[in-house]
Structure 1
Amino acid sequence: MPILLGQLLGIRDGDDPVFWGRLRATQLFAGRRLAPFVLAANLFGGVAVVALFGDRVPALWLAGWFAGLTVVAAVVALRRLRTAHLAEGAASLQDLRDTALEGLALATMWSFPPLVFAALTPGSTFNLWMILAVLMAAAALAMAPLVLAALAFIGGVTFAAALLLALEQQWLAAGATLALGGLMAATCLARARVLLALRAFEMNLSDSHETVSLLLGEFEDSGADWLWETDSQRRLCKVTPRLAHALGSTPERLEGMPVLQALAGASWETGDFAPALRLLADKLKRREAFRDLSLPLVVNGEQRWWEITANPRLDDRGQYVGFRGVGSDVTEQRASADKINRMARFDALTGLPNRLFVNEALGRALAEAERWGTRAAFMMIDLDRFKAVNDTLGHPIGDRLLGRVSERLAELITDNELIGRLGGDEFAVVMNDATDASRVERLAQRIIETLSRPYEVDQHTLYIGASVGVATSPRDGRTAETLVRSADLALYRSKDAGGGVFHAYEPQLHVDAEERRVLEMALRKALEKGELHLDYQPVVDAGSERLVGFEALLRWNSPEHGPISPAKFIPIAEETRLIGPIGEWVVRTACAEAAGWPEDVRVAVNVSPEQLHNPNFASVVAKSLSASGLAPHRLELEVTESVFMREATGAVQALERMLELGVRLSLDDFGTGYSSLGYLSRTRFSTIKIDRSFVTSASRGVPEALAIIRAVVALANSLGMATTAEGVETADELALTRMLGCSKIQGYHFGRPLPVAEARAIALHTKTAIRAA
């Protein structure tokens, strides 16, 4: 450890204040032991000076000086002797600095002889110089631990002696005196540094010894650790009581017993050894050191786990004489590790393997399939309509439902499959052997059928379903990551098909997914780049064929991908939550355009269910009407029946707020979904729109389509609503819809969706009926 000059002198502290405090205490204590020597040296020197100047200097002067020297030297000695308490304690920097005053006091007393007495007796210079030289040497020897005191004394005496010689013009002698003083000071510093370094080493060694002693004491006091030893025949020797207790026996019974027999217990007779015990036997036979070898033992009928470490022992001649090692009982630690491992790999809610475990199992299945030239399969399962349960009945009911789902799934699997929960309402199945494709399909179908049966949870009868995506190696992926991605794409296709079905992965799904990803990235920037625009399709009165409004239709013309169908990008916008800002732009733009049309021309805007589930949608509409100046009754919002499938999210309340603003509502595509008269009774719609598929079928004379249109028209008339027939493209279809009683007509017969400029021209200049071109 390097010792700096400032630390040696006590001017600055070290990195470890506690350690350096103890080190300074040893300096002071070393000075205490040499204090009598310093006192004796000063007194003997004083006697020599009195003898030298006794007949030439007034006796009173000599007596006074010697008395003063005796008092100062005695006080210094007493101060040093009072530091006995610092033997094993600590000293501050100030304690060490105060010793400089002692050195200065002694140096002051010794400056009198050369500067006062020698001036009266010029012939005594050499003898006095010899006395002072001896004193400086004594100080360098005895006061070295107290460096500041020694340097103050040596420096003061050296200066006084050199000054005496200079006054007598003995320049060479004066220079030699200064050189001697410097040499004495350097010697003092070197000796002090060595003494301090040695003491620091001793202190470190002592601390290390205490640490080792403490650790050994703790080891000996620990009931879970013990020492063990064998002879050259692998028999236990020097058996400690602790080892005997750990084995449930006594030292007398274990002494001389083969160590393998002692560890094997009852299995020694049957030869049914654990693999770890066989490994231990091999290590002992080969005389190889080992570390942290885990061994299962049965002690007093209880399963225990040990970890043992040992090295071969050699005698003075290098001959093998056995093994010596240490053992620990790690049963509790192993149980904790097993519990943590289970928590890390099993789902806390259902008890099924979690995503980590499933991925590990899939990796092992793929490795085995590649090894034996077979196939492995991976299924992803997503529950249908599960979110509605959480939204309506709460998460506790949803959690219990997931528990029932996991129980049903566990009943379906065999040793060939592993089922786990990926998170939320997603589950997965790993099939180790999927060579039989029909077996994979049967399992997928059984999963759907089993999970679709009703559940009884807390007096609630719940109906959900399941969608499944299947991927098989090596065709659909050779790694766990690619197989999971393929199954996810297949599941996505099942969900798109309406749920309740399973699909196997096809390469086209990856192409579609990549196209979808590219379109999503482009759509995120389409609005700010001005790539979106609105076209307007005329809506006319069925009797007079007079223009009554336009339907605003969103269009996207991408510079990279060209015109993109709304059927492609609208679902992407809804899934990525981009429909919010896009829908707000549509409402704002349509209102601003319609504000410049005649007062009797309305504008209709399609509204996504995702927009109605946004609590800020009402304020968006209100701000758009206020900013544009458009009368609320001239704005008509078109919604589909799907908005009522998630009532818990507040769609009905959002529609009520629209009605309070004075906005008109239109029910689009009525009859194509889960049509219910309840939708019409709970919300005041102004118009019901009849889907073009019914119009087309009715024009071909399909009885069902004709009956549906008549029923819808009759229902609308009874409720005071208008009806709009969509997709009217021919004169015959126009005549038919008129005959069936539809109020308004929309379709190519009267106009395709038009750019804003053309629609504006028609709205401003057409005062009569609109005719097809």
Structure 2
Amino acid sequence: MRQTSAVSETIARVAALVSRHLPAVPEAMAGRVRFEQLASIQRLTPVMMVANIVNAQLVFLAGLGGPHRLTLLVWAGVVTAYAVLGLYGWLSARRRKSAKNTVSARGARRVAMQTGLLGALWGVLPYVALRDAGTQMSMLIVALTAGMIGTGSFALLTLPMAALAYTTPLVVGSLLVLLTSHDPILLALAGLLIFCYLVVGLSCLSHAKVFVDRLVAGDELERQKQVVSLLLSDFEEGSSDWLWEVDATGALTYVSERMAEAAGVSRDDLLGRVVGGLDARMAEAPEGLASTLAGLLADQKAFRDVVVSVTVGGEIHWWALTAKPIHDLDGVFAGFRGVGADVTQARKDQERITRLAHYDVLTGLPNRLSFLQALGGAWDGKGQTSGCAVLCLDLDHFKGVNDSLGHPIGDALLVEAAGRLRACVGEAGIVTRLGGDEFAVVVQGDLEPSALGALAQAIVDALALPYALNDHHVSIGASVGIAVAPADADDADTLLKNADLALYRAKGDGRGAYRFFEATMDVWAQERRALEIDLRSALRNDELKLFFQPLIGAKGHEITGFEALLRWQHPRRGLVGPDDFIECAEQWGLICKIGEWVLHEACRQAAAWPAPLKVAVNLSPNQFAAGDLVDQVRTALRESGLEPSRLELEITEGLLLRDTAGTLDQLRALKDLGVRIAMDDFGTGYSSLAYLWRFPFDKIKIDRTFVAEMSGNPAIADILRTITLLGRTLNLEVTAEGVETAEQASILEDMRCDHFQGYLFGRPMPIADIPGYLLENMAQQLRRGPTGDDVAQAAVS
């Protein structure tokens, strides 16, 4: 037991010493390395055991004539028996064929002990055979020992501790005998034996290192292959990309399942097909690459994100391909390997984004960006142009339709107008929508003024035709401004600016017309800009004033109230009438603030008049659209102390186009406050009998144009007579505007008109003139000798 323990301890020390000269093995694969080492030894075990049996028999036969034949017989029998046991163990291991592929360190040490024991059996041979042996026998023993060292080392090469455990006893036993023989030949053989041992030992360690490195590298390579395989599998399962590979002829040698799905065929149908046979055509390629897919493959250069179009199921699909060339061990081109992806949806999305960037979503017309590109294309790199024209236009009264009937109707109107505009222009130019109700046309063909004027007039006429939109009948118009290059501008920006100026002038001249750009328009536009700046400061500087025109009762010509009329006391222009700035105030978004000031100021002034004199205030449709008109009226009445029944609010028929629930609700809310509602300029717009009962009116006002022409036109007189009769029937008061002669007053009085307003009875006057006017009116009535009722009424006034 002690000897066994000593041998084990010695082997463990030898193993530790040897392990320090071997490469480090990861702990996770140490058992597998030992398994491979022992498997390599096991393959040569039969050869080694047979060699031991044969050599043991040779030694015994050689020593039959010597003095140690009995000892050699016993030794040969023990060696042969041990070798037979080794063969038996080898056969048993072959039959078991365990599924385990690892060996513990203890199992490796056990093998080393077994080989060490065999080596010890051969190590005692010199003691047995070399004592009193002749030179020939000694040389034979040494030769056999050297042979067994070589054979054992070769068989145990992969496990250094087993090889050393086997060869070391052989060498030690032989050297002890040879070095003590004092025979020069045997001493020389001892030196040769030492040299052989060292060479074998170093070779064993070196080979074992190579063996272990190869196993570790192989295991790492296998692990990497598994990782790569797993990544590729995950890539193909979870990614939209797919893998492909072609040989040097362009034939597909590998196709992933996802690529087959993208191509709409099976993998077997794709394998072996030449890429050119897929009907793939280059759609996009980075600069410098071949223009065809076949040429791209023939160049044998790596490429990335090359887009090709492929017909799949009768539809065009786009693939993005990336690949690099592969070469064999001799550096010969072997094909391409790469990835691909179906980018059809991404390409469609990009095309949609591009279209959204260049086309208006609502009308389908090119947008402002496309307009600027088309306009810029009329100039070359040197800033020269062969000529082009720009027609800028917008829809007159579109905002009123959009605000009153709602955005869906407004959008439908824009679509219909765009269609008419496109049909009207045809191939003569490019129609674009700049935004809102603004459109533009770029013309690069016939630039003759007559042709451009005819085109502009056709546009105005086409857009002025009535529109039928979801049971609504709408009429609008259009104004057009025209600028021509190079006559009107040297660059695109100036040309657009001048076309805008011409449009601005067309709108300022009454809308529904077209104007060519003129140099004086720039000055006019600057004046308009200066007017806007002045008007914005007019409220802050207290430059707005109210004038009042009297309203006269038709029977006794008594004063029933005044209409508040706005004037602008400009510091340089003097007194400016409303016709010169009210429309501009609406365009510039100032009318709501101005209207609120007028409402408060009129109520404040009227509160100081004797009751029951009323004050009439005109309202803008924009004040209704703002949504806070009712609160403004309520506040104005509260702050001024004016009785609500003395406030009369006048609206135009244009507001009636805004037949929305919001407008009707506001009118009813105003009536609930106790104020009176009057329809101004009745008969000039879109009058309808339905308006007179759907809206809570108290009065209708006949426009001055009817009064001015009724004397010489019996038809108009009949219309006025009908209107007054309608007013009496619907219990509405009727006021005639623009009464300038006594004849007109007499006719209107016969028609039983309720109130007069006009220069015959008084012009608009400042607030300071009202007391004098009231006294003068009272004196006139007294001079006429009024009745008792008239006197009473005058006294009240």
Same fold (TM over 0.5): yes
Give the Cα–Cα distance (whole angstroms) in 1 for the partners of residues 670 and 311 of structure 2: 77
State whether structure 2 residue 348 is matched by structure 1 residue 348: no
Unaligned stretches of 5+ residues in structure 1: 1-209, 255-261, 312-320
Q: Aligned partner of 1:363: which letter?
A: G
Q: How does 1:573-588 map to 2 (within 5 A)?
A: 573-588=585-600
Give the Cα–Cα distance (whole angstroms) in 1 for the partners of residues 576 and 771 of structure 2: 24
Residues 86-131 of structure 1, C-alpha deviation per residue, up to 9 Å, x if partnerless?
xxxxxxxxxxxxxxxxxxxxxxxxxxxxxxxxxxxxxxxxxxxxxx
Cα pair 2:390 2:499 within 8 Å, conserved = no
- For residue 695 of structure 1, the aligned residue among 677, 697, 707 is 707
Cα pair distance change 1:395/1:663, threshold 3 Å: closer
Partner of residue 38, structure 1: none
Give the Cα–Cα distance (whole angstroms) in 1 for the partners of residues 472 and 757 of structure 2: 44
Partner of residue 682, structure 1: 694
Partner of residue 603, structure 2: 591
Using the TM superposition, name which of 523-532 and 468-477 deviates more. 468-477
Q: Aligned partner of 1:634: which letter?
A: R
Give the Cα–Cα distance (whole angstroms) in 2 for the partners of residues 691 and 299 of structure 1: 71
Cα pair 1:531 1:557 within 8 Å, conserved = yes
Partner of residue 717, structure 2: 706
Deviation of the 1:717 alpha carbon? 3.7
Residues 530-583 of structure 1, C-alpha deviation per residue, up to 9 Å, x if partnerless?
111111223333443433322221111122443222012212233344222322
- For residue 631 of structure 2, the aligned residue among 615, 619, 632 is 619
Partner of residue 629, structure 1: 641
Cα pair distance change 1:375/1:599, threshold 3 Å: same
Q: How does 1:508-547 map to 2 (within 5 A)?
A: 510-547=522-559
Instruction: Name the SS of the counterpart of 2:678 in structure 1.
Output: strand
Partner of residue 773, structure 2: 762
Give the Cα–Cα distance (whole angstroms) in 2 for the partners of residues 278 and 609 of structure 1: 60
Instruction: Name the SS of the counterpart of 2:684 in structure 1.
Output: coil
Instruction: Name the SS of the counterpart of 1:347 in structure 2.
Output: coil
Cα pair distance change 1:646/1:482, threshold 3 Å: farther
Partner of residue 362, structure 1: 375
Cα pair distance change 1:353/1:612, threshold 3 Å: closer
Deviation of the 1:373 alpha carbon? 2.2
Partner of residue 647, structure 1: 659
Give the Cα–Cα distance (whole angstroms) in 1 for the partners of residues 403 and 612 of structure 2: 45
Deviation of the 1:335 alpha carbon? 5.5
Cα pair distance change 1:505/1:296, threshold 3 Å: farther
Give the Cα–Cα distance (whole angstroms) in 2 for the partners of residues 737 and 719 of structure 1: 18
Cα pair 1:345 1:357 within 8 Å, conserved = yes
Give the Cα–Cα distance (whole angstroms) in 1 for the partners of residues 286 and 317 of structure 2: 15
Cα pair distance change 1:419/1:228, threshold 3 Å: farther
Cα pair 2:284 2:306 within 8 Å, conserved = no
- For residue 679 of structure 2, the aligned residue among 647, 652, 667 is 667
Give the Cα–Cα distance (whole angstroms) in 1 for the partners of residues 416 and 620 of structure 2: 34
State whether structure 2 residue 757 is matched by structure 1 residue 746: yes
- For residue 584 of structure 2, the aligned residue among 564, 567, 572 is 572
Cα pair 1:601 1:763 within 8 Å, conserved = no
Deviation of the 1:672 alpha carbon? 2.5
Q: How does 1:96-245 map to 2 (within 5 A)?
A: none
Give the Cα–Cα distance (whole angstroms) in 1 for the partners of residues 534 and 709 of structure 2: 38
Cα pair 1:471 1:484 within 8 Å, conserved = no
Give the Cα–Cα distance (whole angstroms) in 2 for the partners of residues 369 and 414 of structure 1: 30
Using the TM superposition, name which of 565-574 and 491-500 deviates more. 491-500
Q: How does 1:465-480 map to 2 (within 5 A)?
A: 467-474=478-485, 475-480=487-492
Give the Cα–Cα distance (whole angstroms) in 2 for the partners of residues 293 and 695 of structure 1: 79
Cα pair distance change 1:478/1:224, threshold 3 Å: farther
Cα pair distance change 1:627/1:295, threshold 3 Å: closer
Q: Aligned partner of 2:713: which letter?
A: V
Q: Aligned partner of 1:531: which letter?
A: E
Partner of residue 419, structure 1: 431
Give the Cα–Cα distance (whole angstroms) in 2 for the partners of residues 278 and 621 of structure 1: 70
Partner of residue 725, structure 1: 736
Give the Cα–Cα distance (whole angstroms) in 2 for the partners of residues 237 and 347 of structure 1: 45
Deviation of the 1:356 alpha carbon? 1.9
Q: How does 1:31-42 map to 2 (within 5 A)?
A: none
Aligned residues: 543
Percent identical: 36
State whether structure 2 residue 387 is matched by structure 1 residue 374: yes
Give the Cα–Cα distance (whole angstroms) in 2 for the partners of residues 342 and 563 of structure 1: 53
Instruction: Name the SS of the counterpart of 1:650 in structure 2.
Output: helix
Residues 44-92 of structure 1, C-alpha deviation per residue, up to 9 Å, x if partnerless?
xxxxxxxxxxxxxxxxxxxxxxxxxxxxxxxxxxxxxxxxxxxxxxxxx
Q: Aligned partner of 1:382: which letter?
A: L
- For residue 562 of structure 2, the aligned residue among 526, 529, 550 is 550
Partner of residue 113, structure 1: none
Instruction: Name the SS of the counterpart of 1:633 in structure 2.
Output: helix
Cα pair 2:360 2:367 within 8 Å, conserved = yes
Give the Cα–Cα distance (whole angstroms) in 1 for the partners of residues 426 and 706 of structure 2: 49
Partner of residue 727, structure 2: 716
Give the Cα–Cα distance (whole angstroms) in 2 for the partners of residues 437 and 713 of structure 1: 50
Cα pair 2:282 2:307 within 8 Å, conserved = no
Q: How does 1:15-94 map to 2 (within 5 A)?
A: none
Residues 692-739 of structure 1, C-alpha deviation per residue, up to 9 Å, x if partnerless?
33333345x333443333333333344444443333344554455445
Give the Cα–Cα distance (whole angstroms) in 2 for the partners of residues 368 and 761 of structure 1: 74
Deviation of the 1:646 alpha carbon? 0.8
Cα pair 1:369 1:432 within 8 Å, conserved = no
Instruction: Name the SS of the counterpart of 1:376 in structure 2.
Output: strand
Cα pair 2:621 2:654 within 8 Å, conserved = yes
Instruction: Name the SS of the counterpart of 1:750 in structure 2.
Output: coil
Cα pair distance change 1:532/1:382, threshold 3 Å: closer
Give the Cα–Cα distance (whole angstroms) in 2 for the partners of residues 727 and 274 of structure 1: 74
Cα pair 1:471 1:483 within 8 Å, conserved = no
Cα pair 1:469 1:502 within 8 Å, conserved = yes
Please provide the CA RMSD for this pair.
5.5
Instruction: Name the SS of the counterpart of 1:467 in structure 2.
Output: strand
Cα pair 1:452 1:463 within 8 Å, conserved = no
Deviation of the 1:632 alpha carbon? 2.3
Deviation of the 1:631 alpha carbon? 2.2
TM-score by length of 1: 0.55
Give the Cα–Cα distance (whole angstroms) in 1 for the partners of residues 782 and 588 of structure 2: 41
Give the Cα–Cα distance (whole angstroms) in 2 for the partners of residues 753 and 453 of structure 1: 39
Give the Cα–Cα distance (whole angstroms) in 1 for the partners of residues 508 and 482 of structure 2: 17
Give the Cα–Cα distance (whole angstroms) in 1 for the partners of residues 443 and 452 of structure 2: 8
Partner of residue 105, structure 2: none
Q: Aligned partner of 2:375: which letter?
A: L
Deviation of the 1:600 alpha carbon? 3.4
Cα pair distance change 1:427/1:310, threshold 3 Å: farther
Unaligned stretches of 5+ residues in structure 2: 1-223, 326-332, 784-797
Give the Cα–Cα distance (whole angstroms) in 1 for the partners of residues 452 and 704 of structure 2: 41
Deviation of the 1:647 alpha carbon? 1.7
**Radius of gyration: which is bigger?**
2
Cα pair distance change 1:486/1:703, threshold 3 Å: farther
